[in-house]
Chain A
């Protein structure tokens, strides 16, 4: 059984923020006597993540997802509580710990802008104490997986966003970290590039059993990569569990569009006790609870003359959108 690789207990983080009123008066006041207040952005959260798990952090902008990732990778110091990542205290930034993790931020880059990515890869390889032979082997393997063999020798500034992101990923994975912190890795990428990146992450996780913590506003990233999600609302955890369960909880009904052979059949169906959403001529849309979908379909097919039938899932973005504004999900 996989052990906990990340253990977070009662974690909180506060930032001192200065505020300024608008206008000249506000500016002068701000210059003479600065008003600062402490804002608690992460509020007493606890969770564990097992080795090899892929966990998605969901939340609205400013909910605290990125702050959590930054604390997990040791970039920022927690105000209260404890974090253990792979047995280490992240903020101590010990060499062994740093060699075990990586952080990829969709909107930030570590590649040297004017040089081809290969230069940054060899630089990272030497920073992580890899010899040239090993570095070459890993660059070859990862560039094949990411399909960027030809782009390795083109200056970063001339690469497309997708190619740059793949190169960033290669630079961040050259030391084969066991724990990946990905903050919106598909930000700004086109649909194909997003899909390729997701495929790569799935493969990387499968091959290396790496643990992946991911934040993304693209629901496809979450649904195709993560079995487990942690929903963050105003710095607190509103849900921690299986994505499937969350979706079931938030969307307990499915819509079935039934095309009857005649309008009479549609009228008969309308009066047969189903919850009807709407009816246009011989087409009728009913709402059925997830748990009774099979029995309902049986009843409809046995008792009515049906020409066609469609089962509609509510859009996942819409469901998750509800999570972002709700404080607590008791499942």
Chain B
């Protein structure tokens, strides 16, 4: 059953969503460009020589932020906003009576957008290397493989967290406000603004107990070739997925009982 789902349903969903995404070429390009926060942060770090305090060279830091940009491009999630809108307008009703969980649609939508973003992200990386030629490096195949896996796991964690928050729409209608609360720790603790290594030791030990550093910091460090515990990081990502998935299932099952199908 699961293989059938992945082989046929998800593949067709992905194909259709990809066709849909290609209708929005300009938007995709703009969204890709809008994810350049890591480059601003790189600028702030290097201009103020902040990297010296954490013993990371300019080159390694620039690679880290480029990788953070890449990881962010392929793990960004907005399911809470899509689901909230669909739920409030009653658009989710036809999906609820189909023999596939509606979240698979959103999942495919995200994957399709990631595929569409890929060429734009490469173009941005190309320009980055023109401006910072000393940062050019080619990760070995093993590292690249684990980085792709870890970026996908990061996407899964974020997708599950947001899906859980999205399900709160069944109770609060405006679940995206709760997501805003989560955005703050995601921004500061994920490694998007600063590598987690730059935090004080006692803070770091706490941060590593949360899912946030496994969203950007771990995959970006892995891809950029910085020293990192690959098996430990991947295990933590998998652990978070195992913790979040049953929670999502439970909240989904309770939430659908509360669904009022308003707007339809």
Contact = CB atoms under 8 A, between A and B. Distances in A.
Interface in B1-39: 4, 8-9, 11-13, 16, 19-20, 23-24
A73 B96 CA distance: 10
Contact of B97 (A101, A109, A112, A119): A101
Contact of B261 (A75, A93, A101, A122): A75
Nearest to A110: B94
Given A114-B23, A129-B4, A103 B16 contact: no
Contacts of A126: 8-9, 11-13
B23 A115 contact: yes
Contacts of B256: 77, 93
Interface string B231-264: 0000000000000000000000000111111001
A112 B16 CA distance: 9
Contacts of A172: 94
Given A76-B259, A122-B12, A127 B23 contact: no
B100 A127 contact: yes
Contacts of B4: 129
Interface string A75-119: 111000000000000010101001101110101111010110001
B91 A108 contact: yes
Contacts of B11: 126
Contacts of A93: 96-97, 256
Nearest to A125: B12
B13 A75 contact: no
A25 B13 CA distance: 49
Contacts of B97: 73-75, 93, 98, 101-103
B93 A108 contact: yes
A110 B16 CA distance: 13
Interface in A254-291: none
Contacts of B95: 110
A98 B16 contact: no
A77 B16 contact: no
Nearest to A116: B19
Nearest to B94: A110
Contacts of B264: 105, 107-108
Contacts of A108: 90-91, 93-94, 264
A124 B261 CA distance: 21
Interface residues of B, number: 28
Interface in A285-317: none
Contact of A105 (B13, B94, B96, B98): B94
Nearest to B98: A127
Contact of B20 (A77, A103, A114): A114
A123 B261 contact: no
B9 A75 contact: no
A146 B211 CA distance: 52
B16 A120 contact: yes
Nearest to B96: A75
A183 to B, nearest CB: 8
A127 B261 contact: no
B200 interface: no
B142 interface: no
B257 A77 contact: yes
Interface in B60-113: 90-91, 93-100
A98 B98 contact: yes
A204 interface: no
Contact of B260 (A76, A107, A110, A128): A76
A112 B11 CA distance: 17
A128 B256 CA distance: 21
Given A70-B261, A76-B261, A112 B20 contact: yes
B100 to A, nearest CB: 5
Contact of B99 (A95, A114, A123): A95
Contacts of B98: 98, 124, 127-128
Contacts of B257: 77, 91
Contacts of B12: 122-123, 126-127
B23 to A, nearest CB: 4
A124 B8 CA distance: 11
A319 B214 CA distance: 67
5 contacts: A98-B98, A115-B20, A123-B16, A126-B13, A129-B99
Given A93-B96, A103-B97, A114-B20, 16 more contacts: A75-B96, A75-B259, A77-B258, A77-B259, A93-B256, A95-B99, A108-B90, A110-B95, A112-B16, A115-B19, A123-B13, A127-B99, A127-B100, A129-B4, A129-B99, A172-B94
Interface of A: 15, 70, 73-77, 91, 93, 95, 98-99, 101-103, 105, 107-110, 112, 114-115, 119-120, 122-124, 126-129, 172
Q: Would you list the 7 A-B pairs with minimal beta carbon distance, nearest first?
A: A126-B12, A110-B94, A114-B23, A98-B99, A95-B99, A77-B257, A123-B16
